[in-house]
Amino acid sequence: DGGITQSPKYLFRKEGQNVTLSCEQNLNHDAMYWYRQDPGQGLRLIYYSQIVNDFQKGDIAEGYSVSREKKESFPLTVTSAQKNPTAFYLCASSIGRDDIYEQYFGPGTRLTVT
Amino acid sequence: AQTVTQSQPEMSVQEAETVTLSCTYDTSESDYYLFWYKQPPSRQMILVIRQEAYKQQNATENRFSVNFQKAAKSFSLKISDSQLGDAAMYFCAYMRGNEKLTFGTGTRLTIIP
């Protein structure tokens, strides 16, 4: 079955440590996205990538980094510079062309930093 | 910058009844896309319906339909014959072309048996 996988579902880290969240898709989508969701808020865009080896900052990129070495994979690293990293992180992908722009989401990763 | 406003933090509806969720947005563009996403307790975001701004006809997907008023920048979601499985957070979102999605803050929908 085609879809987007994120692992792990729950992640715990100590303050000061970097942590990498995984996102893989087998939908052959060109574009991939990372969002952060906090209680009572909508989703906010962290980074996005429209093609391999290229990515752009979203609205809240500070303290995060990404890479896009393969079309299927778009890992997100939460660095120690992120002041409030505890949140729910969602990865999404879309075809991103031919008037097909809707994004499909993975199941998310809940990150807790103490 | 584009903004999306959902003015109803919470809504409730009796099972089998109809409910309408409101969404307004602000943009200076004429060509864009609008979406409604559902987020059940599992927290998986699920696409419910999409509307292209250049289409005058309102989108419909089974029990879900929209009322798209381009001049008023309004994009409401109507859920007919509400079911218990419709209970979720509903997010309205705006996108221009292949750019980012801008989300509203969501409406929590409760279905009363």
Residue B1 has pLDDT above 70, yes or no: no
Residues of B in contact with A33 (CB under 8 A): 100-101
Residues of B in contact with A108 (CB under 8 A): 43-44
Structure token pair of residue B97: 């072309």
pLDDT digits (tens, 9 = 90+) for B100-112: 889 999 999 999 9
Q: Which of A60-64, A109-113, B79-83, B94-98 comes out lowest in average pLDDT?
A: B94-98
pLDDT digits (tens, 9 = 90+) for A12-61: 999 999 999 999 999 999 999 999 999 877 899 999 999 999 999 999 99
Q: Across A15-106, where does the E strand assignment appear?
A: 19-25, 31-37, 43-51, 54-57, 64-66, 76-78, 87-94, 104-105
Q: What is the mean pLDDT of residues B30-38?
A: 94
- As a whole number of angstroms, the longest Cα–Cα distance in chain A is 44
Of B33, B44, B105, the CB nearest to A42: B105
Tell me whether residues A96 and B98 touch, CB distance under 8 A.
yes
Tell me whether residues A101 and B42 touch, CB distance under 8 A.
no
Query: Pick from A61, A56, A93, A90: which is nearest to A78 by CA?
Result: A61
Query: Chain A: residue nearest B9 by CA?
Result: A40
pLDDT digits (tens, 9 = 90+) for A55-87: 999 999 999 999 999 999 999 999 998 999 999
Residues of B in contact with A104 (CB under 8 A): 47
pLDDT at B32: 92
Residue A5 has pLDDT above 90, yes or no: yes
